[in-house]
Structure 1
C-alpha cells in the first residue's frame, strides 16, 4: 500500500502543498477557517498521517520531553517519573523515558538520542558521580543548550542547567537527631557506593550529626543502591555486630541510605531469625510509596518525590530559564515509625 502524501491531500482540498502543510503541521500561519476545514477533511478521507519531523519544524518544537532515570523499577525513580509525566501532560508534552541501570555510558547514549530527536527539554534524575563521564555529559548538554535545549537535573547540579536538589545531607542529619532524641544510643550504617554523591551526602549528614552528640557508628558497611545491595550489606553487618535474637539488650539502630536498601536489610535479618525492631532497628531515606504496605512500618526521611519530578519539568519549561539557571532545594521531613521503636 502506497502511503498518502501531503501533495495528495493538497490536491484533494484544492490548495497548495504549502497551505496544506501549514494546516496539518501546526504552523502559526493558518489560512482561513474554510480552507483549513477543507484540508483536514481531505486528510481524513485519504487517511493521511502527518510527519512528526515536519510538524516539529513548523512549530519550532517537537513537543517531546526526555527523562533519564537510573532504575525505573526502583520506586524512588518511578515516583519521580509519575510526577514528570503528569507535568509533561499538563504542558502538552510527550515524555520519552530511558532507564540506564546506573550505566553512565548508557546514560550518555540516552541523552544523545533525546538530543538527536530534538526533545524540547531533558530531565536527568539520579545522583551524579565524579570523573570523565560527567565531563562528557556536561559537554553534550552544553552543545544542546547552545541550540535552544533545556536541561534540569534532579540531584546534584551539573555545571550548566537547572536543578531540583533534595536536601540529602541535612535530611540525614535531622534523622540522626530525631533517633537520638527517641532514645537510641548505638548506631550502624548501611551505605551505598562511595562514587555516588547521594550515598555519600546521606552517610556524611547522619554520621556528622551523631558526632556532634559524641556518638560514632559501631560499624559501617556498604552495598549497591538496590534491595539486594541492602540485603547483602545487612548480612555482613549482622556478622560484624554479632547480632542475636532475644538478647534483651537495647537494639542497635541501623541507618540505610535508601528505603529499598532498608527493605533488603530487613529481609536479610528475618532470614537470620532477627526481628525488627526487637533485635535490631532500622531507618531509611525517601519514603517510597511501597512502604505503605510494609511491616514493620519504616522510619525514614520523606521526600515529595512526585512533586520533585513535576517541579523539574516546570523549571525546564520556564520561560525565564536563562543564563542564571533555576535551581531549587527540596527539604525532607523525618518520619519515625515502628522500625525504630524502642521497647
Structure 2
C-alpha cells in the first residue's frame, strides 16, 4: 500500500503539505500544489490511515452507541434511526450491547472515551440505582468536559441531551381504553423493576386505570417472549377471572398469547391482551395485537441529531408522542 511519503514524493511536495491536502486542513495550500497531491493520491490509490487521522484531527468521525440488546426489535428500530443520521453526516457508529448490565455500560463508556469518539448515545433505559448512576454520570461528565457530546434515549439520571418516548402517556391510553370497555379484572406483565421504562409505563397505567390495579396483579419479568410466558402462567394461577392482560412490551405479549392459547382461553373472547411498542410482529400474530406505537426510528434519529449538533450549554429535552393502535386482541370483557 502507498504511504503518505510516497504521495509526497510523487507530487514533489513535503509530507506536511501532502498531509494538509489529504486531511482537509484549514491551513492554506496553493491550488497548483493541491492538484498535484490529489493527482498523486489517485495514481497511487492512496488510502489515508484512519487511526492517524483520528489522532490528528479535532473533528472526530466515530460515534459510540450503547444499547441493551440490538437483537431486540425495540433496539433494532432505535439503531436504524441512529445509523441513518450518522451515515448522512459521514459518521461511523460503534454499537455496544450492555444486556441490561449497568456495570458493563460504565465499561463501554470508558472504552469509547479512550477511542476519542465524537459522541456517546445511551439508547437503553435508565436505572433505579443511585450508585451506578453516580459512577456513570461522573464518567460522562469527564467525557463531556473534554469536548465529547452526550445524548440519551429515555429517562436517565445523567447529563446530556435527551429524547423521551411517551411511555407514561402511552400506558395512560391503554388504561383509559380498558376502563372505557368495562374491564375490571386486569393484570400486568411488567419489565424489570430496576428500569425507568418499566416504572414510567406502570405509573401511566395506574393513572389510566384510576388506581384500580392491585399489586398482586403485577408480575415483573424480562422484556422477552419467555419472560412474558412465565409471568402469564403465574398470573393465571394466582388471579382467577382475569379479563385483560397488559404486557409492557410486545415480545412479552406474544409469550402471553401462547400461554393463553395453551390453557384453552380465547383472545379476546375470554381474555384481552394489549402490548407496547408496536413491533412488526404485533400485526402478524393471531389475533393481531392491540398495542401502543412509539416512533422508535425517529427517537433514534433525533438522539443522534442532538448528539452531533452543537448546543448552547444547556441540556435539551424532546418528547415524541405515543398512540394506541387498535387490532383484534382487545374487546369488551365477557358478559
Tell me the TM-score range normalised by the shorter chain.
over 0.9
Match in the other structure for 1:246:
none
Q: Given the alignment, which residue of 56, 77, 80 partners 2:78?
A: 80
Match in the other structure for 1:331:
321
Match in the other structure for 2:184:
185
1:242 positional shift: 4.2
Match in the other structure for 1:248:
none
Match in the other structure for 2:246:
255
Question: 1:69 and 1:96, CA in 2 relative to 1: closer, same or farther beyond 3 A?
Answer: same
Are 1:124 and 2:142 an aligned pair? no
1:53 positional shift: 3.0
Question: 1:116 and 1:270, CA in 2 relative to 1: closer, same or farther beyond 3 A?
Answer: same
Q: How does 1:44-193 map to 2 (within 5 A)?
A: 44-129=42-127, 130-193=129-192
Are 1:310 and 2:301 an aligned pair? yes
Q: How does 1:13-32 map to 2 (within 5 A)?
A: 13-29=11-27, 31-32=29-30
1:340 positional shift: 0.9
1:175 positional shift: 1.4
Question: Take 2:5 and 2:305, find their aligned partners in 1: how far apart are those partners?
Answer: 39
Q: Given the alignment, which residue of 215, 222, 237 partners 1:239?
A: 237
Structure 2 spans left out of the alignment, 5+ residues: none
Over aligned residues, Cα RMSD in angstroms? 2.0
Question: Take 1:58 and 1:334, find their aligned partners in 2: how far apart are those partners?
Answer: 50
Equivalenced residue count is 332
Q: Given the alignment, which residue of 257, 260, 266 partners 1:269?
A: 260
1:35 positional shift: 2.1
8 Å Cα contact 2:178/2:209 also seen in 1? no
- Once the two structures are superposed, what CA deviation does each residue of 1:231-265 show, in whole Å capped at 9, x if it has no partner? 1111111212346xxxxxxx611111111111111
Question: Take 2:107 and 2:186, find their aligned partners in 1: how far apart are those partners?
Answer: 41
Q: Normalized against structure 2, the TM-score is what?
A: 0.92
- Once the two structures are superposed, what CA deviation does each residue of 1:168-221 show, in whole Å capped at 9, x if it has no partner? 122211210012113323211111221111111111221233235x56577221
Question: Take 1:119 and 1:180, find their aligned partners in 2: how far apart are those partners?
Answer: 49
8 Å Cα contact 2:133/2:158 also seen in 1? no
Question: Take 2:215 and 2:172, find their aligned partners in 1: how far apart are those partners?
Answer: 14
Question: Take 2:148 and 2:171, find their aligned partners in 1: how far apart are those partners?
Answer: 34
8 Å Cα contact 1:187/1:217 also seen in 2? no
1:222 positional shift: 1.5
Match in the other structure for 2:203:
204
Q: Secondary structure at the match of 2:90?
A: coil
1:10 positional shift: 0.8
1:51 positional shift: 1.5
1:167 positional shift: 2.1
Question: 1:75 and 1:102, CA in 2 relative to 1: closer, same or farther beyond 3 A?
Answer: same
Are 1:294 and 2:293 an aligned pair? no
Q: Normalized against structure 1, the TM-score is what?
A: 0.90
Question: Take 1:217 and 1:282, find their aligned partners in 2: how far apart are those partners?
Answer: 19
8 Å Cα contact 2:282/2:290 also seen in 1? no
1:14 positional shift: 0.5
Structure 1 spans left out of the alignment, 5+ residues: 244-250
Moved >4 Å (runs of 4+): 214-218
Q: Given the alignment, which residue of 211, 215, 220 partners 1:222?
A: 220
Task: Out of 102-111 and 193-202, give the one that drifted further.
Answer: 102-111
